[in-house]
Amino acid sequence: MNWFDVTALAVLAVSAGFAFFKGFIREIASLAGLILASILAFRFYRNGAELLLPWIKTSNLRNISSFFIIFLTVILLSAIISYLLKRVFDSAGLSFYDRFLGLLFGILRGVVIVYVFVIVLQGFGMAGKTLNESRSYHIVSRTMGTILSFVPSTDKGTSSQAPGEKKS
Protein backbone atom coordinates (compact mmCIF):
# COMPACT_ATOMS: atom_id res chain seq x y z
CA MET A 1 0.00 0.00 0.00
CA ASN A 2 1.24 3.45 -0.86
CA TRP A 3 0.01 7.01 -0.28
CA PHE A 4 -2.79 6.73 -2.85
CA ASP A 5 -4.16 3.56 -1.25
CA VAL A 6 -4.04 5.12 2.21
CA THR A 7 -5.70 8.30 0.92
CA ALA A 8 -8.44 6.36 -0.89
CA LEU A 9 -9.14 4.23 2.20
CA ALA A 10 -9.16 7.32 4.43
CA VAL A 11 -11.62 9.11 2.13
CA LEU A 12 -13.91 6.07 2.10
CA ALA A 13 -13.69 5.58 5.87
CA VAL A 14 -14.27 9.24 6.76
CA SER A 15 -17.13 9.62 4.30
CA ALA A 16 -18.78 6.39 5.46
CA GLY A 17 -18.26 7.24 9.13
CA PHE A 18 -19.73 10.72 8.90
CA ALA A 19 -22.67 9.48 6.85
CA PHE A 20 -23.33 6.62 9.28
CA PHE A 21 -23.52 8.95 12.28
CA LYS A 22 -25.44 11.61 10.39
CA GLY A 23 -27.86 9.15 8.80
CA PHE A 24 -29.28 8.82 5.32
CA ILE A 25 -32.12 11.31 5.82
CA ARG A 26 -29.80 14.09 6.94
CA GLU A 27 -27.24 13.27 4.25
CA ILE A 28 -29.83 13.38 1.47
CA ALA A 29 -31.46 16.50 2.93
CA SER A 30 -28.04 18.18 3.13
CA LEU A 31 -27.23 17.27 -0.46
CA ALA A 32 -30.67 18.35 -1.69
CA GLY A 33 -30.40 21.56 0.32
CA LEU A 34 -26.99 22.33 -1.16
CA ILE A 35 -28.22 21.74 -4.71
CA LEU A 36 -31.44 23.70 -4.15
CA ALA A 37 -29.57 26.54 -2.43
CA SER A 38 -27.17 26.80 -5.37
CA ILE A 39 -29.95 26.78 -7.96
CA LEU A 40 -32.10 29.33 -6.12
CA ALA A 41 -29.16 31.61 -5.31
CA PHE A 42 -28.01 31.65 -8.94
CA ARG A 43 -31.57 32.12 -10.17
CA PHE A 44 -32.71 34.89 -7.80
CA TYR A 45 -29.62 36.80 -6.62
CA ARG A 46 -30.39 39.72 -8.96
CA ASN A 47 -33.90 40.07 -7.52
CA GLY A 48 -32.45 40.03 -4.02
CA ALA A 49 -29.78 42.54 -5.01
CA GLU A 50 -32.49 45.04 -5.96
CA LEU A 51 -33.94 44.74 -2.46
CA LEU A 52 -30.51 45.52 -0.98
CA LEU A 53 -30.10 48.73 -3.01
CA PRO A 54 -31.01 51.07 -0.11
CA TRP A 55 -28.25 49.57 2.06
CA ILE A 56 -25.50 48.52 -0.36
CA LYS A 57 -24.52 50.90 -3.15
CA THR A 58 -21.81 48.82 -4.87
CA SER A 59 -23.33 46.53 -7.50
CA ASN A 60 -20.90 43.61 -7.08
CA LEU A 61 -21.15 43.68 -3.30
CA ARG A 62 -24.95 43.77 -3.57
CA ASN A 63 -24.98 40.77 -5.92
CA ILE A 64 -22.59 38.74 -3.76
CA SER A 65 -24.48 39.64 -0.58
CA SER A 66 -27.79 38.69 -2.16
CA PHE A 67 -26.37 35.39 -3.42
CA PHE A 68 -25.07 34.43 0.02
CA ILE A 69 -28.22 35.54 1.85
CA ILE A 70 -30.36 33.35 -0.43
CA PHE A 71 -27.87 30.47 -0.31
CA LEU A 72 -27.51 30.48 3.48
CA THR A 73 -31.26 30.90 4.04
CA VAL A 74 -32.03 27.83 1.94
CA ILE A 75 -29.26 25.85 3.67
CA LEU A 76 -30.69 26.84 7.07
CA LEU A 77 -34.22 25.84 6.03
CA SER A 78 -32.99 22.50 4.70
CA ALA A 79 -31.14 21.87 7.97
CA ILE A 80 -34.34 22.53 9.94
CA ILE A 81 -36.34 20.22 7.67
CA SER A 82 -33.59 17.61 7.91
CA TYR A 83 -33.65 17.78 11.71
CA LEU A 84 -37.42 17.38 11.80
CA LEU A 85 -37.34 14.42 9.39
CA LYS A 86 -34.61 12.78 11.46
CA ARG A 87 -36.78 13.12 14.59
CA VAL A 88 -39.72 11.51 12.77
CA PHE A 89 -37.54 8.57 11.68
CA ASP A 90 -36.09 8.16 15.16
CA SER A 91 -39.51 8.23 16.81
CA ALA A 92 -40.78 5.63 14.32
CA GLY A 93 -37.94 3.29 15.31
CA LEU A 94 -36.22 3.53 11.93
CA SER A 95 -32.89 4.95 13.13
CA PHE A 96 -31.00 1.70 12.38
CA TYR A 97 -32.14 1.77 8.74
CA ASP A 98 -31.39 5.48 8.54
CA ARG A 99 -27.83 4.92 9.75
CA PHE A 100 -27.28 1.82 7.60
CA LEU A 101 -28.45 3.62 4.46
CA GLY A 102 -26.32 6.57 5.54
CA LEU A 103 -23.31 4.26 5.68
CA LEU A 104 -24.01 3.02 2.13
CA PHE A 105 -24.48 6.60 0.95
CA GLY A 106 -21.17 7.57 2.57
CA ILE A 107 -19.34 4.72 0.86
CA LEU A 108 -20.82 5.72 -2.50
CA ARG A 109 -19.86 9.37 -1.92
CA GLY A 110 -16.33 8.27 -0.97
CA VAL A 111 -16.03 6.21 -4.15
CA VAL A 112 -17.15 9.21 -6.22
CA ILE A 113 -14.56 11.42 -4.49
CA VAL A 114 -11.80 8.86 -5.20
CA TYR A 115 -12.87 8.65 -8.87
CA VAL A 116 -12.82 12.44 -9.19
CA PHE A 117 -9.37 12.47 -7.58
CA VAL A 118 -8.12 9.92 -10.13
CA ILE A 119 -9.63 11.89 -13.03
CA VAL A 120 -7.86 15.04 -11.80
CA LEU A 121 -4.54 13.21 -11.38
CA GLN A 122 -4.81 11.64 -14.85
CA GLY A 123 -6.00 14.90 -16.41
CA PHE A 124 -2.92 16.72 -15.12
CA GLY A 125 -0.60 13.89 -16.16
CA MET A 126 0.22 12.93 -12.58
CA ALA A 127 -0.61 9.22 -12.87
CA GLY A 128 3.01 8.16 -12.52
CA LYS A 129 4.98 5.40 -10.85
CA THR A 130 3.39 5.85 -7.42
CA LEU A 131 -0.12 5.39 -8.78
CA ASN A 132 0.90 2.47 -10.97
CA GLU A 133 2.25 0.72 -7.85
CA SER A 134 -1.02 1.35 -6.00
CA ARG A 135 -3.46 -1.52 -5.52
CA SER A 136 -6.60 0.60 -5.45
CA TYR A 137 -5.57 2.76 -8.42
CA HIS A 138 -5.69 -0.26 -10.73
CA ILE A 139 -9.22 -1.09 -9.60
CA VAL A 140 -10.33 2.49 -10.18
CA SER A 141 -8.58 2.89 -13.54
CA ARG A 142 -9.95 -0.44 -14.86
CA THR A 143 -13.53 0.49 -14.02
CA MET A 144 -13.24 4.15 -15.07
CA GLY A 145 -14.29 3.56 -18.69
CA THR A 146 -17.34 1.58 -17.61
CA ILE A 147 -18.40 4.23 -15.11
CA LEU A 148 -17.88 7.07 -17.59
CA SER A 149 -19.90 5.24 -20.26
CA PHE A 150 -23.00 5.98 -18.15
CA VAL A 151 -22.30 9.72 -18.22
CA PRO A 152 -24.10 11.35 -21.16
CA SER A 153 -21.86 13.14 -23.61
CA THR A 154 -22.59 16.77 -24.40
CA ASP A 155 -20.36 16.74 -27.47
CA LYS A 156 -20.61 14.16 -30.24
CA GLY A 157 -16.82 14.20 -30.61
CA THR A 158 -16.05 13.20 -27.03
CA SER A 159 -15.56 9.66 -25.86
CA SER A 160 -16.28 8.00 -22.57
CA GLN A 161 -12.59 7.23 -22.24
CA ALA A 162 -10.92 8.37 -19.02
CA PRO A 163 -8.12 10.93 -19.30
CA GLY A 164 -4.82 9.12 -19.73
CA GLU A 165 -6.53 5.83 -20.59
CA LYS A 166 -5.10 4.00 -23.62
CA LYS A 167 -7.40 3.45 -26.59
CA SER A 168 -8.37 -0.15 -27.28
Residue 121 covered by a domain:
yes
Residue 89 covered by a domain:
yes
Q: What is the pLDDT of residues 120-147, one digit of tens each?
A: 877 777 777 778 888 888 888 888 878 7
More confident residue, 120 or 88: 88
| pLDDT score for 144 | 80
Residue 92, helix vs strand vs coil: coil
94-108: average pLDDT: 94
The whole-model pTM stands at: 0.71
What residue numbers bound the domain in which 122 lies? 3-127
Residue 134 covered by a domain:
no
Residue 116 covered by a domain:
yes
CA 57, chain centre distance (Å) = 35
| pLDDT score for 1 | 84
User: Using a CB cutoff of 8 Å and minimum separation of 24, what contacts does 113-121 make?
Assistant: 113/11, 113/15, 114/8, 114/11, 114/12, 114/140, 115/140, 115/144, 115/147, 117/7, 117/8, 117/11, 118/144, 118/162, 119/144, 119/162, 119/163
| pLDDT score for 29 | 92
Residue 115, helix vs strand vs coil: helix
Residue 144 covered by a domain:
no
Residue 168 covered by a domain:
no
Residue 15 covered by a domain:
yes
Instruction: Domain count for the chain, please give it.
Output: 1
Q: What is the pLDDT of residues 16-69, one digit of tens each?
A: 999 999 999 999 999 999 999 999 999 999 999 999 999 999 999 999 999 999
CB atoms within 10 A of CB 115: 18
DSSP calls for 34-58? HHHHHHHHHHHHHHHHHHTTTT---
Rounded Cα–Cα distance for residues 130 and 111 (Å): 20
Residue 44 covered by a domain:
yes
| pLDDT score for 163 | 47
Q: What is the pLDDT of residues 69-80, one digit of tens each?
A: 999 999 999 999
| pLDDT score for 164 | 52
